[in-house]
């Protein structure tokens, strides 16, 4: 036996989980990745529900351009300028 109670082990696991979660969100590359993924999803939704089919809109007429544009916007919005 390790001498720790079950409640102590649960508390230790919870503290480690909270620390890892905080560190992940502090990582700038993780935030940029989340911005890219979120922007890509928004781009697909925008193209599906709002985008133009006539071809007169250079960004929203093509789904690949729409996803690329919105993922870039998502990455820029999640960028942190603080050092």
DSSP code for 82? -
Residue-wise pLDDT tens digits, 11-48: 777 777 676 666 666 677 888 899 999 999 999 999 89
State the total domains in the chain.
1
pLDDT at 3 over 60: no
3-state helix, strand, coil in the chain (%, to 5): 70, 0, 30
Q: Does residue 53 lie in a domain region?
A: yes
Q: Does residue 33 lie in a domain region?
A: yes
Q: What angle do CA 73, 51, 64 make, to 5 degrees?
A: 55
Other C-beta atoms within 10 Å of 75: how many?
Answer: 19
Range of the domain at 54: 27-83
pLDDT confidence of residue 18: 72
Residue-wise pLDDT tens digits, 53-83: 777 888 888 889 999 999 999 999 988 766 5
């Amino acid at each position: 036996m390790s001498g720790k109670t079950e409640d102590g082990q649960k508390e230790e696991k919870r503290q480690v989980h909270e620390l890892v979660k905080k560190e992940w969100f502090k990582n700038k590359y993780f935030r940029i990745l989340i911005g890219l993924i979120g922007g890509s999803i928004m781009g697909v939704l925008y193209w599906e529900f709002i985008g133009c089919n006539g071809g007169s809109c250079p960004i929203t007429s093509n789904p690949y351009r729409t996803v690329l544009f919105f993922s870039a916007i998502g990455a820029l919005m999640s960028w942190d300028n603080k050092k």
